[in-house]
Structure formats: structure tokens, C-alpha cells
Amino acid sequence: MVRIDTDEGHGWGECSALPEPSYTDEYAAGAFRVLVDRLAPRLTRRRLDGSAAIVALELLSGVEGQPMAKAAVEMAVLDVECRAQSMSLADRLGVSRRAVPAGAAIGLASPERMAERASELATEGFGRVKLKIRPGHDLALVEAVRTAVPSVEVQVDGNGSYRSADVGVLTAVAAAGVAAIEQPFPTDDVGAAAALVAAVDVPVVADEAAASVADIDRLQSAGALSGVSIKPPRVGGIRTAVAMLDRCAAAGLATTAGGMVESGLGRHALAAVAALDGFTLTGDVSPAGRWLATDPWPDLTLRPGGVVVPDSPGVAPDPDLDILAAHTIRFGEVTGRV
Ligand code: MG
């Protein structure tokens, strides 16, 4: 969690790096050091006037990579700006929608267990489930969920576990009634992705493989994607995410708003971004209460019509500092005045 204090007020940002460098090469302990040693000192070097969020990202561009750490800074600066103007992040992004459809992911489990989870989620108000699949655990899962809850939209996510020889089985998965197949192949297996794009009508969504507008252009020219999962933390922040969304809309690509494991703060930001016009598939918008027993931040509200788009000033209301302190394992402070 990043807090920025300025003459204009304060703001909070969330870094979504996971404990281990598994799903991405960033990880929490490394991101902490990057934030404290490399990014924060750059911010204290000059005044952030005008569009401070843009200035901040330009200041940070001298540090290579580290998208989740940079996204945390961007979120905090946006929070400062929005609070100072008494506007919500949704207002700032020009969002008019008041709710977005809710989507949840279901970890790999038996077909019976996944069908049961999908039924529960549908009852809770989720209109879409995303099933994690891997070779040998795919078609039966989709069929079980489709049979148990025909009304719910089903997407699948392979997290790069398939190989080019699996195009056939993935084509069968597509035919079983899924709305999208996300990142079935490793990020560098452009050939397999292109073969699947050519074989199926449903969007083949690049997640880990697309971290920038340039990635989208490169993969599209290779015929290796027909959709993109846009996760603001993974791509360096909301500004890049919006640029990617615009590029996808212009190129006729399917899009989904992807989420990380986040607190209510990150979830507030995701709900505002997911409410942008242009997303064609239901995203990963769910309350943080799905995985956090206690949360320093207020959670999203899930209603039958979907997740309510937050309208409080800033990205999210302030956290409960006692809960935050109880969960704090490391703390660093960087000060400066310009
Ligand atoms: Mg994914």
C-alpha cells in the first residue's frame, strides 16, 4: 500500500505484486524496495502540477519495468487529484455507468466442485465465472458448469499451460459454449495462439502476453489474439490500461477488465475502470471479501444488477488505519520538499 501526502492532500494506492515472482516477475518484497528506494525519491524531486498523474508516470519512466509498483504510485496520485476536486475516479475517467456485471474466477477443482461453486456464485449475483483450466482438466469442467448453471457466462483461463498440440481440445472447449479462452499458451508461443485464433470463433484473450499497446499490435499482426485481458496493475497503471482499451476498440478486439488479488482499494479502482465503455466481455469485478477476511478498505457492493461503481471522492474512501496497522509487516517512509 502506498500513501502519498502532498500540499493538496493525501492519496492511497495499491501494489498488486504477489508474494512470490510466480505469475509475474514482480513480487511484493521486491516491489517494496523499488517503491521506497527508486520510485518514491523521484516523486519528491519536483512539484507535480497540472495533471500530476501524467507527470508522476513520466518521472517514473526512468526505472525499467516494475509495472505494479508504478501502478500503485499512479493510483495514489490519482487519488490525491480526485479528492482535491471532490470527484470519484469514475467521474475522472468519464464513466457514466452506475454498475458493472460481476465476474469471479474459480480455481481448478473437480467438475462437481466447480459446478457447485458456479451455482453459488450465480446465486450471489455473479453473471460470469472464469474457470481455471489445464491440460486434462478442461472440457469436463466446462460441460459440468454449463449443465449446472446454463444462465451463467463461462470463460476459461489456461494461464499458459497448453501447448500447440492442444489446439484440438481447446477447439472442443470453445464449442462447449465458452465466451472466451484466456491465455491458453505460454506468452511466447505465438504460433499456437495464431492456430487457435484461426480455429475458433470465440475470443482468444491475451492476458500475460499483452502488457502494452505495442504488445497488442505485435500479437494482432501475427494473428495471435482476438481479445485482451486488461489489468491496470499488470500493465503499469490506469493510463496504460485506457490506452490499451482504446487500441482494442479501434482494432475490433474483444476486451475484459482483469483483476488481481487486491484489497477493497484495488477493487474500487478496478470497478471504475471496468465501467468504461469499450469492454466487450464481463471482467473480474468482484468484492475483495471473496478472499480477504478483514480488509482495511471498504469493499465493493454487489447487487443483483452487478457491482456498484464507486462514487465517493477519490479512488476509494480512507482505510481503517487500525486494521491496516494490524496487517502491516514492513513500513518505509520517504520525505522531501520541493
Ligand atoms: Mg488470466
Q: How many helices (H) and strands (E) does the chain have?
A: 13, 12
Digit-coded pLDDT (tens) for 159-201: 999 999 999 999 999 999 999 999 999 999 999 999 999 999 9
Digit-coded pLDDT (tens) for 8-47: 899 999 999 999 998 788 999 999 999 999 999 988 877 7
Cα of 93 vs centre of ligand 1, distance in Å, is 24
d(CA 59, CA 81) in angstroms, rounded, equals 17
Q: Count CB neighbours of 119 within 10 A.
A: 15
Output the pTM of the full model.
0.95
Cα–Cα distance list, 194 to 164, 175, 187, 189, 191 (Å): 10, 18, 12, 9, 5
Q: Residue 59: its pLDDT value, please? A: 77
Q: Shortest CA distance to 263 belongs to which of 304, 291, 235?
A: 291
How many degrees, rounded to 5, is the angle at CA 68 between CA 63 and CA 72?
A: 95
Cα of 258 vs centre of ligand 1, distance in Å, is 7
d(CA 305, CA 125) in angstroms, rounded, equals 8
Neighbours of ion ligand 1 (CB under 5 A): 157, 182, 207
Cα of 110 vs centre of ligand 1, distance in Å, is 20
Do 169 and 139 meet the contact criterion of CB atoms below 8 Å apart?
Answer: yes
d(CA 257, CA 185) in angstroms, rounded, equals 20
Q: Is the pLDDT of residue 309 over 80?
A: yes
